[in-house]
Amino acid sequence: MAPPAQSQRSPSPSQPSGKSEVSDLKLQLRQLAGSRAPGVDDSKRELFKKVISYMTIGIDVSSLFGEMVMCSATSDIVLKKMCYLYVGNYAKVNPDLALLTINFLQRDCRDEDPMIRGLALRSLCSLRVANLVEYLVGPLGSGLKDSNSYVRMVAVMGVLKLYHISASTCIDADFPSILKHLMLHDSDTQVVANCLSALQEIWSAEASTSEEASREREALISKPFIYYLLNRIKEFCEWAQCLVLELVTKYVPSDSSEIFDIMNLLEDRLQHANGAVVLATIRVFLQLTLSMTDVHQQVYERIKAPLLTLVSSGSPEQSYAVLSHLHLLVMRAPYVFSSDYKHFYCQYNEPSYVKRLKLEMLTAVANESNTYEIVTELCEYAANVDIPIARESIRAVGKIALQQYDVNAIVDRLLQFLEMEKDYVTAEALVLVKDLLRKYPQWSHDCIAVVGNISSKNVQEPKAKAALIWMLGEYSQDMQDAPYVLESLVENWDEEHSAEVRLHLLTAMMKCFFKRPPETQSALGAALAAGIADFHQDVHDRALFYYRILRYNVSVAERVVNPPKQAVSVFADTQSSEIKDRIFDEFNSLSVLYQKPSYMFTDKEHRGPLEFADELGNLSIGEAANNVVPTQMVEENDKDLLLTTSEKEETKGSRNNGSAYSVPYDGSSTSVFASQTQIESAVSNPTLAGHSPQASFAIDDLLGLGIPAAPAVLSPPQLKLNTKAALDPSTFQQKWRQLPVALSQEISVSPQGVAALTAPQALLRHMQSHSIHCIASGGQSPNFKFFFFAQKFEESSNYLVECVINTSSAKAQVKIKADDQNTSQDFSTLFESALSKFGTS
């Protein structure tokens, strides 16, 4: 445990400043240390308590280390425990002092009271000081063999802790195989459960390098072992049951009778009081029956009741966690839940995150028989005080309408919304009416009558305004004053801030022009003039395009702008079914709550570099002249990084438009127009859009910043690199996942290099001059991490590099992946020589 950071608390006058109190305590402790007077333990206890509370509120009491250790030479378990706490807190920052405690901790590990043995062992393993690991092996070894289950339980976790401090020590001492033995033979289920957690972690980490470990990991999901656990499942505590069930989901039964056996065995777990156990069981059921369609349906029916119970019991947070899972299932099989729609009605006081999920579920389960009730209920929410929820519910009504049930009544309702005269209701309803008209053009007459009455002045939101303008353009022949409304909008061109609205206005003017030319002509001219003068690239381009096409041939223009339209039957789904399946595979985890597969938010290769990139963006703005970055500043930047992550999400949408054009150059250099380049790269790279949009934008920025005109550089003869190599981030990520590591090595960095590496940028510029480009970088002294790529000259063969530089040891850990494995050695030489020149030029 690290000491609480001091900076978090502002010293308030009521809090003790610390200094005098600490020296006071020191004195008192010293007096008591040698004393054997009766009752001395009680006064020690009081003092210890004081020390611990000072420690907790952030006063540094590490200077008492010696006294504390002296005082703890006692048999009083209360004192001992507090002393362990204290030692655990300060050992990490004072490794030398920690050495002092080793002795008495080791002695306590041999105490006759099993509780003291366990506690001492836990404290010993929690010191987390790397140079003390040698003292851990002995006590851990005997702890694992202890006759008392409490000690064994602690020892097993101790092994895992040791592994995280020093993996090699743990492996060398052969602890994993001892754990394996315990796991299979120990009578205590908590010991077994801890072994399982520890071994899963150790073997997963080792699997990439050791064949044996990956074999062992496979053995965990072998039939005998899974059966061994399943047969004992009732003896495990509730948390361990979750662990076991988690493992069972990975097991692949050989035939259907085995599947039924497992399900019968686990059936009663669905009645467990702990919601986590129920969810884990549900996951097992769903996974097992994935290939058996009819049974899978029965499983849905079976798990419905327990899930609904879990949703309605417990705190809002718990029910949210369950509701997210229910949401996933409802989305997969809405028909199973269509009769339970009343469970998804929102209560007035529910938090909005719960309401939002419920609204989506209500939308999903709507069918012929329940649409009326559901829509009636949703309309109640439209008057909700919680405006985002009110908006969501209007959208939900629209979605149901688009699903084709009882459209007639729903259209009436939507039109009522328009008459409610609340800005946000009108805005949402307008967008919906637009979508409805795209699908059911036959409703246009009813809708237009109402829409025509809405004054465009009351509509402020860009989306709604755009929808209104679209309708004005599309149905200008039916709306008496459409040309004049549009004209007044054109007159206020400069006050319109949203590019989206201006784009729609241009198109609507064109449509209107073809339907009612005499009334529109002058306004169209004004609109085109304003559009061509517009500073926004898209608006400018479109206006210019319309202008030119009109000059070229008016009838062609009409065909382009006003083609006969077919009703839209299916609106594009926002999430691919592949992603949905991935999420389903990760049932009962965060993926379901975030509604994205785990690799999108946990993979370092996915997420890590991106954040670094973002940080880099911040850094390079203000610090061009600032070569030496003091550590403190780096820390602040670190906080900036945290700040930007959420901002980034908010601005995601708007950056979407802008960044497409901010890329200075992209892969294909043949095309002349920026927009064409964009289209081509999007075509050649279809994953870009759906994959992880926010990701690529961050890096686009980076590319924009990070590539100054690269000077032509002499490349070593054996391998020529393309000086203008380009690779977009998502391709990089994809390749990085797919390719095997071709080479992995450690390179020394020259002292000059270390000195020059005060910030990641320095190295970026250097490597760039060697035609090795950086795609993401980050970190702070002493550890920096970089992702580089390079392209072979006149070929599209790529090299991808992960480089971790530790400046204190002056070493760089380099992993190279290459399209063309044969040349990876050459590239490595090149990379090494480039890196070695860093700081000398």
The gap from C-alpha 397 to its chain's centroid, in whole angstroms, comes to 30
Among 131, 231, 312, 656, binds another protein (CB under 8 A): 312
| Closest approach of another protein to the CB of residue 308, in Å | 7
Q: How far apart are CA 490 and CA 512, in angstroms?
A: 13
CA angle 466, 471, 473 (to 5 degrees): 95
Structure tokens at 421: 């005269």
Residue numbers 444-503 binding another protein by CB under 8 A: none
Which is closer to another protein, CB of 185 or CB of 639? 639
| Closest approach of another protein to the CB of residue 532, in Å | 40
Instruction: Please tell me whether residue 706 adopts helix, strand or coil conformation.
Output: helix
Please count the other Cβ atoms lying within 10 Å of the Cβ belonging to residue 314.
14
Binding map of another protein across residues 354-393, x = CB under 8 A, - = no contact: -----------------------x--x--xxx--------
CA dist list (Å): 555 to 277, 549, 744: 68, 9, 64
| Closest approach of another protein to the CB of residue 504, in Å | 29
- Does residue 652 touch another protein according to CB under 8 A? no
Among 279, 254, 265, CA closest to 230: 265
Among 608, 658, 693, 704, binds another protein (CB under 8 A): 608
Helix axes 114-126 and 95-108, enclosed angle (nearest 10): 160
Which is closer to another protein, CB of 22 or CB of 539? 22
Which is closer to another protein, CB of 273 or CB of 570? 273
Which is closer to another protein, CB of 47 or CB of 402? 47
| Closest approach of another protein to the CB of residue 641, in Å | 7
Concatenated DSSP letters for 664-677?
S--S--S--SHHHH
| Closest approach of another protein to the CB of residue 767, in Å | 25
Max Cα separation, the chain?
A: 109
| Closest approach of another protein to the CB of residue 525, in Å | 40
- Does residue 284 touch another protein according to CB under 8 A? no
Among 490, 641, 688, 721, binds another protein (CB under 8 A): 641
Q: How far apart are CA 684 and CA 679, in angstroms?
A: 9
- Does residue 648 touch another protein according to CB under 8 A? no
| Closest approach of another protein to the CB of residue 150, in Å | 4
Among 257, 349, 566, 670, binds another protein (CB under 8 A): 349
CA dihedral (505, 510, 516, 520) positive or negative? positive
Q: How far apart are CA 753 and CA 785, in angstroms?
A: 15
- Does residue 183 touch another protein according to CB under 8 A? no
- Does residue 750 touch another protein according to CB under 8 A? no
The gap from C-alpha 735 to its chain's centroid, in whole angstroms, comes to 20
CA dist list (Å): 487 to 456, 493, 588: 12, 10, 55
Among 43, 166, 197, 750, binds another protein (CB under 8 A): 197
Report which secondary-structure segment, H or E, holds 273: none
Residue numbers 238-277 binding another protein by CB under 8 A: 238-239, 242-243, 246, 267-269, 271-276
Instruction: Please tell me whether residue 805 adopts helix, strand or coil conformation.
Output: strand
Which is closer to another protein, CB of 362 or CB of 437? 362
| Closest approach of another protein to the CB of residue 615, in Å | 10
Q: How far apart are CA 158 and CA 132, in angstroms?
A: 14
| Closest approach of another protein to the CB of residue 634, in Å | 12
Q: How far apart are CA 319 and CA 290, in angstroms?
A: 26
714: phi then psi, degrees, rounded to nearest 5: -70, 120
Among 72, 190, 249, 281, binds another protein (CB under 8 A): 190
Among 128, 395, 502, 773, binds another protein (CB under 8 A): 128
Residue numbers 22-81 binding another protein by CB under 8 A: 48-49, 52-53, 56, 77-78, 81
Residue numbers 759-798 binding another protein by CB under 8 A: none
Which is closer to another protein, CB of 275 or CB of 753? 275
396: phi then psi, degrees, rounded to nearest 5: -60, -45
Q: How far apart are CA 690 and CA 688, in angstroms?
A: 6
Q: Which stretch binds another protein (CB under 8 A): 278-286, 450-458, 476-484, 486-494?
A: 278-286
732-750: b (≥16 Cβ within 10 Å) or e: bbebbeebeebbeeebebe
| Closest approach of another protein to the CB of residue 637, in Å | 12
Check if the beta carbon of residue 711 is closer than 8 Å to that of residue 754: no
Check if the beta carbon of residue 666 is closer than 8 Å to that of residue 675: no
Check if the beta carbon of residue 179 is closer than 8 Å to that of residue 199: yes
Check if the beta carbon of residue 6 is closer than 8 Å to that of residue 18: no
Which is closer to another protein, CB of 246 or CB of 519? 246
| Closest approach of another protein to the CB of residue 734, in Å | 20
Residue numbers 133-172 binding another protein by CB under 8 A: 148-150, 153-154, 157, 160-161, 164
**Length of the chain as a residue count:** 841
| Closest approach of another protein to the CB of residue 299, in Å | 15
**Residue 721: DSSP 8-state:** B
Q: How far apart are CA 380 and CA 407, in angstroms?
A: 18
Residue numbers 318-347 binding another protein by CB under 8 A: 318, 320-322, 324-325, 342-343, 345, 347
Q: Which stretch binds another protein (CB under 8 A): 4-12, 473-481, 618-626, 679-687?
A: 4-12
Binding map of another protein across residues 80-119, x = CB under 8 A, - = no contact: -xx--x---------------------------xxx--x-
Q: How far apart are CA 518 and CA 558, in angstroms?
A: 15
| Closest approach of another protein to the CB of residue 524, in Å | 38
| Closest approach of another protein to the CB of residue 832, in Å | 31
Which is closer to another protein, CB of 496 or CB of 614? 614
Which is closer to another protein, CB of 161 or CB of 391? 161
- 78 burial (CB, 10 Å; 0-12 / 13-18 / 19+) is middle
- 175 burial (CB, 10 Å; 0-12 / 13-18 / 19+) is buried
Residue numbers 561-600 binding another protein by CB under 8 A: 586, 588-594, 598
Residue numbers 529-548 binding another protein by CB under 8 A: none
Which is closer to another protein, CB of 273 or CB of 624? 273
| Closest approach of another protein to the CB of residue 329, in Å | 14
Which is closer to another protein, CB of 149 or CB of 715? 149
- 140 burial (CB, 10 Å; 0-12 / 13-18 / 19+) is buried
Among 4, 18, 334, 441, binds another protein (CB under 8 A): 4
Which is closer to another protein, CB of 375 or CB of 707? 375
Number of residues in contact with another protein, rule: CB under 8 A? 112
128: phi then psi, degrees, rounded to nearest 5: 55, 45
Q: In sequence order, which residues have a C-beta less than 8 Å from that of residue 88 and are 6 or more positions away?
A: 1, 123, 126, 127
Binding map of another protein across residues 407-446, x = CB under 8 A, - = no contact: --------------xx------------------------
